[in-house]
Amino acid sequence: MLFFTQCFGAVLDLIHLRFQHYKAKRVFSAAGQLVCVVNPTHSLKYAPTRCAAAQTSTEQGVLPPCHHHEAVHDPQLVPCTCPLFSCPWEGHLEVVVSHLRQTHHINILQGAEIVFLATDMHLPAPTDWIIMHSCLGHQFLLVLRKQEKYEGHPQFFATMMLIGTPTQADNFTYRLELNRNQRRLKWEATPRSVLECVDSVISDGDCLVLNTSLAQLFSDNGSLAIGIAITTSKVHNTEAEM
């Protein structure tokens, strides 16, 4: 009976996963788009946020877990870029991807266009949905966060970070698209570098921001499908032609 129960549970999980993929492809009808079902993770670093604690940590002589690249004692090292945890890890920019995959088990998808399907949008804040996106020879970090910017009023914030320098980030443009019930919402911007703090990007509002009612308008049974497309910027293309 135990063997049967375990097998039956695995089959149900597989059916649920296939159903989530079907829902995303139904919303984004473009053939060939990769779909990634992303489960929520309750953040463990919001007391206080890493950026808010940076000044206090510096005064105590402890290296803050989130800071700008210029503040690192060794310019060749960068802090962990995962916004879920106050991770003390430091390393070279070239091994950030390996750290995120091996330590924090963040999935990675390849392709110029993918669909990011965030499940369980109803969970209380703070909650994060994270995935890495590999395309055009670079890796990007997509962060979707549910957070109460004002008490009792949770909002959703979505942003794309390049795992690279700010100069490299300026060469790309990312687009986030919500499409459901004959409604379409797009956000297009230049990605920020992971050397900057995700908390600061969200605090500045330099990202896609959805209130609860708007998120529900585009969600389907508690799941929110976000189409992601990354292209090289026009300035970069012009320089390449010259």
* Positive or negative: CA dihedral 2, 8, 12, 17: positive
Residue 65 within a domain? no
pLDDT of residue 207: 95
Residue 198 within a domain? yes
Residue 63 within a domain? no
Residue 118 within a domain? yes
pLDDT of residue 8: 53
Domain that holds residue 127: 31-41+74-232
Residue 68 within a domain? no
pLDDT of residue 54: 39
Scored b (16 or more CB within 10 A) or e, 148-177 reads eeeeeebbbbbbbbbbbebeebebbbbbbb
Q: Looking at residue 214, which CATH number applies to its domain?
A: 2.60.210.10
Rounded CA separation 41/199 (Å)? 16
| Residue 92 CB-density burial (10 A; 0-12 exposed, 13-18 middle, 19+ buried) | exposed
pLDDT of residue 36: 81
pTM over 0.85: no
Q: Which residues, listed in sequence order, are joined to residue 129 by a DSSP beta bridge? A: 144
pLDDT of residue 103: 83
Residue 92 within a domain? yes
Residue 111 within a domain? yes
pLDDT of residue 211: 93
Structural domain count of the chain: 1
Rounded CA separation 24/93 (Å)? 33
Residue 16 within a domain? no
pLDDT of residue 149: 80
Average pLDDT for runs of 10 along the chain of length 242? 53 50 47 72 55 39 40 63 76 84 84 89 91 91 90 92 94 95 94 88 91 93 94 60 41
